[in-house]
Chains A and B, each alone.
Chain A
């Protein structure tokens, strides 16, 4: 199996802060891979190390088998690290031309790419006049226009309105399908990751806390939501398996086959059950559960 990005024992410290803490992660080539984590989890640091912007304190990072940050590996990579910035005196067309020259890419069709990201009408406007969404779209064109085999997108919808997020999400999906590149996507938008990614890794405090297929991570903890009274009696009966979910509801972390017996027991105990519904665990709740646990573990 070939890997697009490998990190082995990767550690990066800034003074007393450990941005990455002995991180080991292997991102397979092909498809769209999501990297999740709260602010300060180490996502951007991982990408900055991969792109040679930052040197690790210890450990090794590799891009497609070559040492990260080396010119040989970077030629095959396109990256958008955090909010894209551009020299303010350049237009979008000039920016892509300058980047093409810098990459030694002679045969790129700049007009085609400006059209693909919906910037044809603003191609000759200086990027300093662009909105956040337009800058993100230009950033995507800058990532993909040299046709890389690996694209790293760090928070590609950061700071955008819902319509803009939807637009960029569609664009990423389309480019992933049409260009066939491996895409590594870091995002706070869990819905975005669920819709776009095949596999995800969750980072917290610079460590890998979970990694696996989106469906596996998202669906691993279904729960029975009971709206009942008195709630205290339900919690008492469930013990460690119960948790409050609002003023009059309890989440029961039980297996599906245990539900009938639980409901029978509650009714026999005199509890009034107003509603009982399975809540399918989604990526968001799985993500929050994993972060709350804060114990590094593999979900593979």
Chain B
């Protein structure tokens, strides 16, 4: 059953401390360290000036909006390739495939990574808030209230970044199953993540071609979420952008499942 496979995969991931650290905890820790470091540096540069007010929710929203950057993507890829392609590396499919269906096994891995990515994003946002709190406590900066709709902005940016990262995860599943290599899935995923990010940054009009690039669709959705309705002239095609992101996720996941379902495991 799928629930059994998910329990087993979750148990495995919790025991794999290396992957947990690099794939789930490193981005939040690095975010916290860089936030505090940046704060100390900025304070050194602005001696004598009054402290800048700290918006904790704003910092979390900003962190979540940037949560699908290629740098964060690299660490998510470390997580996903370890979980999704690790059994080729360790030649352990022979241990698992006799105990559960292949679709269940791969779906369980995707579900486990999805949960871990969500946890990592939440921690990433909390690390940004902690950095802000550090700034407020050490500099005496006042805490200010977020000006937008906190719940909508937090949930919206979280959901879009999670979706963008999960597309990367699904891509690494396809490449991992095809190449049977963790390194192959990591490198291909990283190159494509960086490439789409560069291409998306060059595009401005939300054409169909542009919307087909997950990074562009993701940025458009985040802009729609974070921009107050009163300042929007023409409505952006957010529905189409969301549909493209979902299509990528479902399409790549289905491709990985179909490939794995038909794969000979003579050589794992």
Contacts and interface: CB of A to CB of B under 8 A. Distances in A.
Interface string A63-79: 00000000100100111
- Among B4, B99, B100, B104, residue most surrounded by chain A Cβ atoms (within 10 Å): B99
Contact of A89 (B18, B96, B264): B18
B90 A88 contact: yes
Interface secondary structure of B, over-half rule: helix
Interface size class of B (residues with CB under 8 A): 20 to 34
Interface string B77-121: 000000000100011111111111110100000000000000000
Given A55-B264, A94-B15, 16 more contacts: A45-B266, A48-B94, A51-B97, A74-B98, A74-B99, A81-B94, A87-B12, A87-B90, A94-B11, A98-B8, A98-B11, A99-B95, A101-B8, A103-B100, A104-B4, A142-B95
Given A53-B94, A102-B4, A14 B266 contact: yes
A28 interface: no
Contacts of A97: 11
B34 interface: no
A142 B94 CA distance: 12
A86 B97 CA distance: 13
Given A89-B17, A99-B95, A101-B8, A53 B266 contact: yes
Interface string A31-73: 0000000000000010010011111000000000000000100
B101 A86 contact: no
Contacts of B93: 53
Interface of A: 14, 45, 48, 51-55, 71, 74, 77-79, 81-82, 84-90, 94, 97-99, 101-104, 142
A52 B265 CA distance: 9
Interface in B8-30: 8, 11-12, 15-18
A94 B7 CA distance: 13
A99 B9 CA distance: 10
A90 B4 contact: no
Contacts of B265: 48, 53-54
Contacts of B100: 71, 102-103
A102 B12 CA distance: 11
B17 to A, nearest CB: 7
Contacts of B92: 85-87
4 nearest interchain CB pairs?
A: A101-B8, A102-B8, A104-B4, A53-B265
Contacts of A86: 90, 92, 95
B95 A53 contact: no
A43 to B, nearest CB: 13
A94 B18 CA distance: 16
B168 interface: no
Contacts of A45: 266
B5 interface: yes
Given A87-B86, A89-B17, A101-B4, A51 B98 contact: yes
Contacts of B95: 84-86, 99, 142
A79 B98 contact: yes
13 contacts: A48-B94, A48-B265, A89-B15, A89-B16, A89-B17, A90-B12, A98-B12, A99-B8, A101-B4, A102-B99, A102-B100, A103-B4, A104-B1
A238 B227 CA distance: 102
B7 to A, nearest CB: 5
A48 B18 CA distance: 31
A44 B18 CA distance: 34
Contact of A102 (B15, B17, B96, B102): B96
B91 A71 contact: no
Contacts of A55: 262, 264
